[in-house]
Amino acid sequence: MSDFNLSAFSDAVADIAAKAAPATASFATHHHRTASAFHWRDGYFVTAEEAVETGEEIELTLASGETVKAELVGRDPSTGVALLKPAAAADVHSLARAEVVRPGNLAVTVGNSEGAALAVFGTVGEVGPVWRSMRGGTIDRRINLAVNAGGRFEGGPVLDGKGALIGMLLFGPRRRALVMPYETIERAVATLREKGHVARGYLGAGLHPVRDRDAYSAMVMSLDDNGPAKAAGLLLGDIIVAWNGEAVHGPRDLIRRLGPDSAGAPVTLGVVRGGEQRDVAVTIGEKPLS
């Protein structure tokens, strides 16, 4: 007969959530729903970038039930991280960083809803290498979760079996639960605290997918008057097929390449114009904030 104690396990999971709950907060989003946030350090909170809107008034509800106005210090669409600073200092602790996690490890997701604690648990479903987001951000690890967490958990902390912080809960395509890992958040927060934004690459061209046999590429449909693409001599109707010699598989692939590390970089684009292929040298710009 198994020695597994279900009651003790249940209490252990609840204890993990209870210890993290004081670090969490919630706020009403511009989508008229509730999202979570959690204390990072030095009085700053992090949350999901898609849950906040530049210029909107944010009011955090802390675990104590107290409400405080918060400033949006900055947001990074490339990693999905937004940084908030409450107007009044919040006396809450920071969560310790988790060690290595493996597929099958326990994952406890904690949230907040108008001061009330939320918690669900599941497992780490996948741990993979560095990857690039849809908006070009470099994500240090791919961590997908097997957990049934609703929208109120978005922006909340994901903890390991010791109660240490793996990262922040976000939702990918088809509402798949994934983790923005600790080290990626740490890098984004450092830049947001210093600059208020993370630079993103800017080509200044509107693109449309085109297909030639089994290959997808990107056709230039519009050009910004003061953008790098027009300055480099790209024309309407040009088909971008390569980036520094690597095939471009449609507009989404090209946008992924326009991450923070591309701003200011010289790039050679392979272009098909009038049925002939040529190379066009472009210096990628920095995407305007507006």
Tell me, yes or no, whether 184 and 209 share the same domain. Answer: no
Nearest to 152 by CA among 173, 169, 130: 169
Tell me, yes or no, whether 104 and 233 share the same domain. Answer: no
Tell me, yes or no, whether 184 and 83 share the same domain. Answer: yes
Tell me, yes or no, whether 98 and 55 share the same domain. Answer: yes
Tell me, yes or no, whether 31 and 141 share the same domain. Answer: yes
As a whole number of angstroms, the distance between CA 170 and CA 1 comes to: 40
Tell me, yes or no, whether 3 and 125 share the same domain. Answer: yes
State how far the alpha carbon of 75 is from the alpha carbons of 78, 128, 154, 163, 229, in Å: 9, 25, 15, 27, 26
State how far the alpha carbon of 34 is from the alpha carbons of 27, 128, 156, 175, 177, in Å: 6, 30, 11, 16, 17
As for how many domains the chain has, the answer is 2
The CATH number given to whatever domain includes residue 26 is 2.40.10.120
Tell me, yes or no, whether 216 and 194 share the same domain. Answer: no
Q: For residues 232 and 223, is the Cβ–Cβ distance under 8 A? A: no
End-to-end CA distance of the chain: 64
Tell me, yes or no, whether 145 and 161 share the same domain. Answer: yes
The CATH number given to whatever domain includes residue 211 is 2.30.42.10
- pLDDT reported for residue 290: 58
- Collect all residues with Cβ–Cβ distance below 8 Å to 225 and sequence separation of at least 6: none
Nearest to 82 by CA among 97, 67, 94, 72: 72
Q: For residues 251 and 241, is the Cβ–Cβ distance under 8 A? A: no
Q: Which residue, of 146, 169, 198, is where some domain finishes?
A: 198
- 37: phi then psi, degrees, rounded to nearest 5: -145, 165
Q: What letter would DSSP give residue 114?
A: T
- pLDDT reported for residue 85: 95
Q: Which residue, of 161, 182, 198, is where some domain finishes?
A: 198
As a whole number of angstroms, the distance between CA 264 and CA 282 comes to: 10
Tell me, yes or no, whether 148 and 247 share the same domain. Answer: no
Q: For residues 37 and 157, is the Cβ–Cβ distance under 8 A? A: no
Query: What residue numbers bound the domain in which 231 lies?
Result: 201-286
Q: Which residue has the tokens 């390569």?
A: 242
Q: Which residue, of 157, 180, 198, is where some domain finishes?
A: 198
- pLDDT reported for residue 53: 86
Q: Provide the token pair at 11.
A: 């209490």
- pLDDT reported for residue 49: 95
Tell me, yes or no, whether 120 and 5 share the same domain. Answer: yes
Q: What is the pLDDT along the chain (290 residues), one digit of tens a residue?
A: 468 899 999 999 999 999 999 999 999 987 789 999 999 999 999 999 999 987 788 999 999 999 999 999 999 999 999 999 998 766 788 999 998 999 999 999 999 999 999 999 999 999 999 999 988 899 999 999 999 999 999 999 999 999 999 999 999 888 899 999 999 999 999 999 999 998 889 999 999 999 877 778 999 999 999 999 999 999 999 999 999 999 999 999 999 999 888 999 999 999 999 989 999 999 999 987 75
Tell me, yes or no, whether 52 and 185 share the same domain. Answer: yes
Tell me, yes or no, whether 69 and 212 share the same domain. Answer: no
